Amino acid sequence: MPTQHIVQSYDEELKKLSTLIVQMGGIAESQLAGAVEAVVKRDSDLAGEIVQSDAKIDAIRNQVDDLAIELLARRQPMANDLRLIVSALRISSEIERIGDYAANVAKRSVALNQAPMVRPVHAVPRMAAMVQALIKDVLDAYITGDAAKADAVRDRDEEVDELYTSLFRELLTYMMEDPRSITACTHLLFIAKNIERIGDHATNVAELIHYTVKGEMPAEDRPKGDDTAYAIVAAPGGKQ
């Protein structure tokens, strides 16, 4: 059968789709780890590598999307398979965004390295570790099709938001105390925001896993802990 090597079974194609998603997620996770290492170790060369590597994620995203659309056209999937394929399209977009934010963290670390070290940087690896665990667990939930595990990831995102809010306040206070730190602290603010957003995207993936497994999106509103949009931090002198 000469076609044996080119014609894959439907199951194999669906498996291929999942494998690509997991591969993409694994790279995104290590991109975040690398970006945070670049921040902590003030390693601009590593930061440059991370920025370059973002193209790898984009390439796999294109593969996922091409395969998903091909499967929609060729296999005309129904029910579970349709959800799986539509979710793959969406999950690939979420993971691509995670990669973009990791690359942005790396970019900003280069700017950060040109200014003296500022103390609040210590909170970044802690926040990143929480978010990396979310990515890891959401990928596990994806592999095993475990909706309960996905739901747990969604709940844990609140802790990330709380840590972000406290870092936001700390950075504002630090800038007020030492205006020479403003450039560095502003980059740190955006680095922290990027990591918080990665947590949101991991949570979006968790919701899509719930949808794939259960056939509907999780019901209640996601817990929201990032209230920095409303945050007012008084200047040390007391006057705003």
Interaction site with its own copies (CB under 8 A): 69, 72-73, 76, 78-79, 82-83, 86, 89-90, 93, 104, 107-108, 110-111, 114-116, 172, 175-176, 179-180, 182-184, 186-187, 189-190, 193, 229-235, 237, 239-240
Q: What is the smallest separation between the CB atom of 171 and its own copies, expressed in angstroms?
A: 8
Q: What is the smallest separation between the CB atom of 215 and its own copies, expressed in angstroms?
A: 11
The per-residue b/e assignment along 148-179, b for 16 or more CB within 10 angstroms, e otherwise, is ebbbebbebbbbbbebbbebbebbbbbbbeee
Q: What is the smallest separation between the CB atom of 65 and its own copies, expressed in angstroms?
A: 9
Nearer to its own copies by Cβ, of 46 and 89: the residue is 89
Q: What is the smallest separation between the CB atom of 225 and its own copies, expressed in angstroms?
A: 14
Nearer to its own copies by Cβ, of 39 and 137: the residue is 39
Q: What is the smallest separation between the CB atom of 2 and its own copies, expressed in angstroms?
A: 27
Nearer to its own copies by Cβ, of 80 and 144: the residue is 80
Nearer to its own copies by Cβ, of 140 and 158: the residue is 158
Nearer to its own copies by Cβ, of 90 and 136: the residue is 90
Nearer to its own copies by Cβ, of 17 and 175: the residue is 175
Contact residues for 36 (Cβ-Cβ < 8 A; gap 6+): 105, 124, 125, 128, 195
Q: What is the smallest separation between the CB atom of 182 and its own copies, expressed in angstroms?
A: 5
**Contact predicate 213/170, CB 8 Å:** no
